[in-house]
Amino acid sequence: MIKYLLGAILALAIIGGAFDFKSTDNSWQLIINKKEAFNSVTNGAKRIFNIVRNIIPDSELSEAATIILEEN
């Protein structure tokens, strides 16, 4: 389960452009922009949350479930 979560975070960071690759004749560099990675992961998580939130009210589950709050 943790592998899938970390994979999703890594995919969101890559899509968001958090990694830069620079190479010269002598070396390769993988540069990670921490601020951009954080922004891309949080924006992606918010988008996924909004998609799921919009799907759930349209399902039968939300119509069949009732929430009862009682104060004692």
What is the residue range of 14's domain? Answer: 2-54
- What is the pLDDT, as a whole number, of residue 19? 81
For 47, the token pair is 């988008």
**Residue 1 DSSP SS3:** coil
Is it the case that residue 15 has pLDDT exceeding 60? yes
Residue 18 counted as domain residue: yes
Residue 29 counted as domain residue: yes
Residue of 63 and 9 predicted with greater confidence: 9
Number of domains in the chain: 1
Residue of 57 and 17 predicted with greater confidence: 17
Mean pLDDT estimate for the chain: 78
Residue 47 counted as domain residue: yes
Residue 44 counted as domain residue: yes
CA separation for the pair 38, 12 (Å, rounded):
10
DSSP, residue by residue, 8-72: HHHHHHHHTT-EEEEE-SS-EEEEE-HHHHHHHHHHHHHHHHHHHHHHGGGSHHHHH--------
Is it the case that residue 59 has pLDDT exceeding 70? no
The reply to whether the predicted model has a pTM over 0.75 is no
Residue 23 counted as domain residue: yes
pLDDT bin (cut points 50, 70, 90) of residue 60 is: low
